[in-house]
Amino acid sequence: MIVYDDSNYTDLLGDGKAVTFGGEKFYLSANPREIAYGALPYARPFGDAYPLIPRSEWAARIEHLAAIRGTPADFNWFPAYNQSRTNYCWANGVCGAATTVLAMQGAPHKKLISSASIAGPITNYRNVGGWGEPAFEYLLKYGGCSMDLWPNAAISRSYDTELSRAERQHLRGIEGFDTDGFDQLATALLLGFPVAVAYNWWGHLVFAAELVLIEANSFGVRIRNSWHESWGEKHPRNGMGGYTVLREGKGTPSSAVTVRAMVSSAMNQSAEAHYGVSP
C-alpha cells in the first residue's frame, strides 16, 4: 500500500498544473471553495446530523466493515473515472461518489454518471477548473446523464438533447452534507457514505471510498482518482484500480461533500422505450 503524506506528496503534483500519466496529461484544476463550511444553501452541515465516531472505535470499525464488505469502496463495481484532458476533476469526484451511492442503494441499472453532463452546462462548455460543491448542487437540481448518452469527457453542447434531458431526472441527488475536517470525513465513511473531497495542496478533487488504518493510531483515507483505471493501486478487496491512500494530514480535505442519497430509478430498459423519445 502506497501512502502519500508530507514526505512524498510532491510526487502527485506533476508540474503543478498537470500530471502526465500513461502518456496522457491530467490537469490539476480544483479551485478553492468560495463559501465557508456550514453556509451552503443546498447541503446541511454534517455535524448537525451525525455525532463524530470516537477515534477509539475507528480501528475496530474499519476491520469489521472490511469483513462484511460494507465500505463505499466495496460497491465500486465500475472502472475509475477518466477525466481525460478535461479540467473537470471537480465534477468527476462528485459523480464517482454519486455512482457509488447508487450501487449501495441497489440500483437496478449499471449507469455511470457523466461528469461532463454536469460540468459542461455549469461552465457554459468551457474546459476550466472549478470547485466540487456547484457540481453537487447541479446533481441535486437537475441530475446528470449517463455515459451512454454523454461521454464522460465530452465538452459539447451537442449532447444536450431531449433524450439526455429526460434522463437527468433518473440520475439525480436527493441530499448531501457539507463535511468539514478529517473526523467528519472518517465518520461519513464509517457510516457507509462516500465523500467528494477537494485538496487545495493538490489542486485536485477526488472521492473518498474508505477509511484505512495505516499503522497503530495512524489513519488515512483511500481515495479514488479520475485519472484512468490504471493509475494508482488496485483495491485490496474489489480488485479495481485508481486508488491510493492519503495519510490524515494530506487526507484532510480542504472542502468536502458527503453524498447521502440518490433517486432510485428503474432505467434499465432501452432509452427509447423508457423515456418515450428518440435519441
Partner 1 sequence: MKAADLFPLALIALGVLWLLQGESLLSPPSPIKSPGFVVLIVEETANRSQLPQGQHDTIVGSAVGMPREYVTTKGGQWRVLDASPKSAELEVPAIREAFALPRTSLPWIVASNGRTGFSKPLPATTAEVLADLKQLGDSP
Residues at the interface with partner 1 (CB under 8 A): 49-51, 53, 65, 67-71, 74-75, 104-106, 108, 169-170, 172, 174-175, 187, 191-193, 260-261, 263-267
156 with 120: CB under 8 angstroms?
Answer: yes
Nearer to partner 1, 138 or 199 (CB): 138
Asked if 245 contacts 211 with a C-beta cutoff of 8 angstroms, the reply is no
Based on CB atoms, which residue is closest to partner 1, 216 or 273? 273
> What's the CA gap between 260 and 279, in Å, rounded?
31
Q: Least separation, in Å, of the C-beta of 154 and partner 1?
A: 25
The sign one gets for the Cα dihedral 200, 261, 224, 57 is positive
Report the nearest approach of partner 1 to the CB of residue 40 (Å): 16
Question: How far apart are the C-alpha atoms of 179 and 43, rounded to whole Å?
Answer: 9
From CA 160, how far away is CA 121, in angstroms rounded?
A: 9
Cα 123 to the chain's mean position, in Å?
A: 19
Q: Which is nearer to partner 1, 51 or 239 (CB)?
A: 51
Q: Smallest gap, in angstroms, from Cβ of residue 253 to partner 1?
A: 20
Nearer Cβ to partner 1 (83/258): 258
Minimum gap (Å) between residue 30 Cβ and partner 1? 26
The closest of 32, 34, 26 to 127, measured between CA atoms, is: 26
User: Closest approach of Cβ 158 to partner 1, in Å?
Assistant: 26
Closer by beta carbon to partner 1, 71 or else 83 = 71
